[in-house]
Chain A
């Protein structure tokens, strides 16, 4: 898992209308990993993917895919990549089977109906193979886009908002498909608005905002480093204010005055919980219940973007 498959160096893109979509982005993507790119709308996620895939021309910087330059060696790089775009952009008057076969041909592969059959079966599309695309639901069309992206057996798969507008069941099905692909050795880069998606399937997370990558880290490390825990202390009796002796703790009193919430850093050697509980007892407050709550990736993401926008 340590070999870099994609190397992005000082990549910038300014569109003709003056919009600077990417600003000096550098990122390495490891072979066999699932990297989730998180960022608000207009952050530059799709531009970054589009440059690597050859749809958008970079203004400056270099991208190498498996040691090949995306501009000079475009045949080598593009033949390794499969792309599932954000929009449902399909030839609506063609059948599912022809649509998927067309993409396989575009990528320079000889027709292989057996392989296309296996892809369609894996994505539960085989019974729809003769359907015209416009007869399919949005979710089915999304699956067709994935089938097209897999039609030439890519070793790298870009999923740009793959589960946008997809119901919960189908989304979970897709997560399973993505996991199965990773297990077969495919490197996956996905952009998503659903933080739970990144949390569920990604190995690493890159947060992108205003065309810059704010942070890239292992999902677990990011959660550990930036994750804060909250301890909710329910009291037997109301307290109007937080006692003076407890002011040294990062405490919040709830609206009903019946509970205190203590935020603490999980990475610190001493969380202060023991002392806090001792001091609460010394104040004569009686405990009813204790609950802990962990920060989600979503909270971390919101915090990072907010901080970045303020700087």
Chain B
């Protein structure tokens, strides 16, 4: 057995099955909260905000809201996916199975990314009910969504690995990711900020992700698209390196 295909498949399908079982919280909850954003920001406030880069405010915030969902969902799906068997002890059978670390991580992260992409697609479809959405570079959009979903699913896997309780798992999504997305130009253009805060925002990596996706949608961005792609790939490589190091050390899952 050079590759444990069935082992990979078992973990992947098992995780997708959890998604099915918890469909209400997995799918309906992000769709509902994003719809509320569209109603409040897109329809109500949007009527009082002028067009940005020639795009109506309601349409302008679509990539930012998709990115918000993508980041939070990919992190929470995968962190929970690995944390739960660690918490209830059933991780023993994955550790004792003839499956490589790479196959195991790929299965968890692949399932997390798949779930996130399903949610992202549903949110994109939902946004069409509220605002007009056009996609200028659809292939680039798919590439960016897949890249972000995988990268942050991997980041979520890392959080799940390192967390020793449920509270620790929710700290990073709540206290780090959500503020970074809101302060990362999801609801506004960086040009609208005073120069000092613009400078501060450049240190927020999420800014590059949102602008990259916005470029794929409308061809409008505060940065060159390659800067966005390079920053995503840098973060992906960083996550791969840290996860590989942590698993090699056996941290919290293997003595």
Residues of A within 8 A of B (CB): 15-16, 50, 53-57, 74-79, 81, 83, 85, 87, 89-94, 98, 101-111, 148
CB-CB nearest 3 A-B residue pairs: A105-B10, A89-B89, A106-B97
Whether the pair B92, A83 counts as a contact (CB closer than 8 A) is yes
- Cβ of B4 under 8 Å from chain A: yes
A104 cross-chain contacts in B, Cβ below 8 A: 6, 10
Residues of B within 8 A of A (CB): 1, 4-7, 9-11, 13-14, 17-18, 21, 85, 88-90, 92-100, 250, 254-255
Given contacts A78-B97, A106-B99, A108-B4, 12 further A-B contacts (CB under 8 A): A55-B255, A81-B96, A83-B92, A85-B92, A91-B90, A103-B97, A104-B6, A105-B13, A106-B10, A107-B6, A108-B5, A110-B6
Whether the pair A91, B85 counts as a contact (CB closer than 8 A) is yes
- A89, B91: Cα distance in complex, Å: 9
- A263, B134: Cα distance in complex, Å: 95
Whether the pair A107, B89 counts as a contact (CB closer than 8 A) is no
* Nearest residue, chain A, Cβ from B97: A106
Distance from A82 Cβ to chain B, minimum over Cβ atoms (Å) = 9
Please name 6 pairs of A and B residues whose Cβ atoms are closer than 8 Å in the assembled complex, sorted by A.
Answer: A55-B92, A78-B97, A83-B93, A89-B90, A92-B88, A106-B99
- A106, B170: Cα distance in complex, Å: 29
* Nearest residue, chain A, Cβ from B253: A55
Contact A79 B98, CB 8 Å, known A102-B14, A105-B9, A106-B11: yes
Contact A87 B7, CB 8 Å, known A57-B254, A81-B96: no
Contact A105 B7, CB 8 Å, known A54-B96, A55-B254: yes
* Nearest residue, chain B, Cβ from A54: B96
- A83, B250: Cα distance in complex, Å: 20
- Please classify the interface of chain B as helix (H, G, I), strand (E, B), loop, or mixed, using the class held by over half of its residues: helix
Q: Which listed residue (B6, B21, B250) contacts A105, Cβ 8 A?
A: B6
Contact A16 B97, CB 8 Å, known A91-B90, A106-B11, A108-B1: no
B96 cross-chain contacts in A, Cβ below 8 A: 53-55, 78, 81, 83
Q: Which listed residue (B5, B97, B254) contacts A56, Cβ 8 A?
A: B254
B88 cross-chain contacts in A, Cβ below 8 A: 89-92
Whether the pair B21, A93 counts as a contact (CB closer than 8 A) is yes
* Nearest residue, chain B, Cβ from A90: B90
B17 cross-chain contacts in A, Cβ below 8 A: 94, 98
Contact A75 B254, CB 8 Å, known A55-B95, A106-B11: no
Whether the pair A75, B90 counts as a contact (CB closer than 8 A) is no
B254 cross-chain contacts in A, Cβ below 8 A: 55-57
- A65, B99: Cα distance in complex, Å: 17
Contact A109 B6, CB 8 Å, known A56-B255, A78-B98: yes
